[in-house]
Amino acid sequence: MARKFFGTDGIRGETNTGNMTPEIAMRVAQAAGEYFRRGDHRHRVVIGKDTRLSGYMMEAALVAGFTSVGMDVIQTGPLPTPAVALLTKEMRADLGVMISASHNPYRDNGIKLFGPDGFKLSDETELAIEQGIVSEPALVPAAEIGRARRIEDSRGRYIHALKQSVSDETRFDSLKVVVDCANGAAYQVAPSAIWELGAEIITLGVTPNGTNINDGVGSTSLDAIKRTVVEEGADIGIALDGDADRLIVIDEKGEAVDGDQIMGLIATRMAEKQALRGGGVVATVMSNLGLERYLDSKNLRLERTQVGDRYVLERMKTGGFNIGGEQSGHMILLDHATTGDGTVAALRVLASLVNSGKPASEVLHVFEKVPQLLKNVRYEGGRPLDKDSVQTAIADAEKALDGKGRLVIRPSGTEPVIRVMAEGDDADQVETVVDQICDAVKAAG
């Protein structure tokens, strides 16, 4: 069945248009509340948000929806996505909701839902909720309307959980760390947790005003943190996104370290301690071939899934893995979180840095990246990937790269765009095959 509301990561869009209006938010809450109202206990939902101006509006609409179908609401205020997932499980809630559009600009917002186990909902559950959104809500009698309350210790609870993700002996007293919170959900908790573990902190992106989230700061805008790390003589930089489920690291030279390198580092450190499960790492088809070769050299394997952290998590759960993630910096460490947690991953990186006694540039760049090129091709209509000319170009590219690289072709799920990615040992050859496929798609579209 085609999905009308939910995408690969909840419901997302420009605020006050399409599916991201207060009316839709209330209907989502009513449908989700009705779905999760099972059993005779008092039902509750945890609602967190990032720092977007529209968060106030969407939160109020969700509260109205949930209470109208008899669910009590616990509001946390601004808090990272993984913290909401954690509190949902810890507080024995039936459901968790995060109001965020992650790394998108402030004009966008989104609704992410978590089940009572702290994991994102399955496709089947989301489809069932979609059916409820377009149906009449089952409003409860006046005496059964839910109550709403705001808890004041949510940040403290999460900071405690963050510190529990590293050993009791771990301290960061020797480190000078730049922490960029993207003016987003982690602007209080991430610097606090790292400071409480002893590090000297320099902060960026910790003055949210409702419209500056991800604006020139954070994991998708690295110029400011690169410059600050070098100017301040810091040991390392930590860049999170708007809802703090992603991490990009900056070494002491101002060079960015992506999710592939971070996963490689954490996985090998855990393997040395015999704490790595599943025999390797789960990542998407976009992860660099260099990571695969590096893990193979350590007798570990890389399992690939389609793009999207939910698919990474599904494979982790079925295969018994405890590390997975995406090149973009979305990392899932299942021993400590049920979804991607940029701050947990950052603490593991800082612990590795302290334990090594070496500079970040030596510790973090664990493998040589294979030349990789991604281009997007916009088309007018039809199905260009089905055309014989495009299929021939793809077959020629695969033959050219055989044994020396990889090719990934995938259509966008939200716009008429074909994404063409190739990687291989020969950078010129990679560029040639990508351009040939792009030209074929343009001609066919």
**Each residue's pLDDT tens digit, 124-175:** 999 999 999 999 999 999 999 999 999 999 999 999 999 999 999 999 999 9
Q: Which of 102, 154, 192, 219 is catalytic?
A: 102
Looking at residue 41, what DSSP letter applies?
Answer: S
Residue 107 has what pLDDT?
97
Residue 2 has what pLDDT?
63
11-152 and 172-364: identical CATH topology: yes
pTM score of the predicted model: 0.92
C-alpha separations of 48 from 14, 209, 310, 368 in Å: 19, 17, 20, 39
The string of DSSP codes covering 91-103 is TT-SEEEEE--TT
Residue 195 has what pLDDT?
98
CATH annotation of 372-444: 3.30.310.50
Q: Which fold has domain 11-152?
A: Alpha-D-Glucose-1,6-Bisphosphate; Chain A, domain 3 (3.40.120)
C-alpha separations of 233 from 70, 175, 177, 230, 355 in Å: 54, 11, 9, 5, 20
**Each residue's pLDDT tens digit, 39-70:** 888 999 999 999 999 999 999 999 999 999 99
**Each residue's pLDDT tens digit, 353-401:** 999 999 999 999 999 999 999 999 988 878 889 999 999 999 999 999 9
The string of DSSP codes covering 225-241 is HHHHHHHHT-SEEEEE-
Chain-centre distance of CA 275, in angstroms? Answer: 23
Residue 413 has what pLDDT?
67
Instruction: Say if CB 61 and CB 22 are below 8 A apart.
Output: yes
Instruction: Say if CB 344 and CB 162 are below 8 A apart.
Output: yes
Q: Which fold has domain 172-364?
A: Alpha-D-Glucose-1,6-Bisphosphate; Chain A, domain 3 (3.40.120)
Residue 275, token pair as written in the block: 């704490």
C-alpha separations of 320 from 276, 282, 297 in Å: 10, 10, 21
Active site residue 102: yes
**Each residue's pLDDT tens digit, 405-438:** 999 998 876 678 899 999 999 999 999 999 999 9
Of 299, 254, 240, residue with least CA distance to 82: 240
**Each residue's pLDDT tens digit, 166-192:** 999 999 999 999 999 999 999 999 999
Residue 392 has what pLDDT?
93
> Which strands make up the sheet holding 44-49, listed edge to edge?
11-14, 108-114, 95-99, 44-49, 72-78, 148-150
* Mean pLDDT (the chain, rounded): 95
Of 56, 102, 47, residue with least CA distance to 76: 47
Q: Give me the residue spans of the domains in the chain.
A: 11-152, 172-364, 372-444
Those residues whose C-beta lies under 8 Å from the C-beta of residue 261, and which sit 6 or more positions away, are 249, 291, 364, 365, 366, 367
Q: How far apart are CA 74 and CA 46, in angstroms?
A: 5
* C-alpha dihedral, 217 to 220 to 222 to 223, nearest 10°: -80
